[in-house]
Amino acid sequence: MTCCEGWTSCNGFCLLVLLILGIVLNAVPLIVNFVEEDKLFQNPISCFEWWLPGIIGAGLMVIPATMMSLAARKRACCNNKTGMLLSSFLNVITVIGAVYCMLISIQALSEGPLICNSPGNSTANCEFSLKNISDIHPESFNLQWFFNNSCGFNYPTSNDMANDWSKPLLNFDPEENKYKIIHLSVFLGLLLVGILELLFGLSQILIGFLGCLCGVSKQRGQIV
């Protein structure tokens, strides 16, 4: 097995772990919502999980490239020049899915949970678009909804903290804090999953082209 085939196999295993993690993370707020509220379209956690960034973007769109890359481990269809080239093209889909997952996660982290910005907690207020993403600036992406004492957006200053050093950063409302932690954990996790899938996808695109140009194992090449 050449280095291209070995790296392809490693990419396939890593993408398999990441796509499972993405699906699980995406399912967490859906499961919590259904168990606690017994309703699927009204919850205090978020609405961006209904865009399925982990199930579709980081999950289903990654499966073709993952299966193709794992085939190199068994010296199967990916273990030839055509297979390596095909793995590169399939990883373009992986990159698109990873970017989709990242963009939704960024907007979800920027806006915070529904309990902080929607009195009705309705998913009807959830809107994802590239225009909304372009309106997000680094200075506004400070997760202030998580660190404030309440869901209001009065970010505590250093003078306030100096005057009242014992004031907690998180609200003592257990329900509100629980939804904040779930929202932060899920979408921060999906953001990291998307970033890693993007890196593995780009690396496989490069490795696939190198494998196509340089060839694969001679033993396998004689068979195919």
Q: CA distances (Å), 140 to each of 49, 74, 115, 125, in order? A: 22, 48, 19, 20
What pLDDT score was predicted for residue 107?
84
Cα separation, 200 vs 94, in Å, equals 9
Query: Which candidate, 214, 207, 186, places its Cα nearest to that of 14?
Result: 207
Contact (Cβ atoms closer than 8 angstroms) between residue 35 and residue 111: no
Task: Out of 1-5, 10-14, 157-161, 178-182, give the one with best mean pLDDT.
Answer: 10-14
Say how far apart CA 129 and CA 107 lie, in whole Å. Answer: 9
Total number of domains in the chain: 1
What Rg do the C-alpha atoms of the chain give, in angstroms?
A: 22
Cβ 183 vs Cβ 44: under 8 Å: no
Q: Which domain holds residue 114?
A: 3-223
The larger pLDDT score, comparing residue 61 to residue 208, is at: 61
122: alpha, beta or left, given left = phi > 0 and alpha = psi -120 to 50?
Answer: beta
pLDDT in tens, 164-188: 444 444 444 677 788 888 889 999 9
- Give the end-to-end CA distance of the chain in Å, rounded to a whole number: 14
Does 154 score more than 70 pLDDT? Answer: no
**DSSP designation for 148:** S
Q: State pLDDT tens for residues 8-67.
A: 888 999 999 999 999 999 999 888 877 766 555 556 677 788 889 999 999 999 999 999
Q: How confident is the model at residue 9, as a pLDDT?
A: 83
Residue 2's pLDDT is 54
Query: b vs e for 84-123, b when ≥16 Cβ sit within 10 Å of the residue's Cβ?
Result: bbbbbebbebbbebbbbbbbbbbbbbbbbbbbbebeebeb
Mean pLDDT of 212-219: 64
Residue 112 near residue 146, CB atoms below 8 Å: yes
pLDDT tens, residue by residue, 97-150: 999 999 999 888 887 887 776 554 455 556 656 555 555 555 556 667 777 665
| Per-residue pLDDT at 187 | 94
Asked whether 205 and 91 are in contact (CB, 8 A), the reply is yes
Mean pLDDT, rounded, for 201-205: 93
Q: Are 210 and 4 in contact (CB under 8 A)?
A: yes
CA angle 205, 99, 51 (to 5 degrees): 135
Q: What is the pLDDT of residue 23?
A: 96
70: pLDDT confidence band, cut at 50, 70 and 90? confident
- pLDDT given at position 223: 38
What confidence score (pLDDT) does residue 168 get? 45
Residue with tokens 């980081």: 58
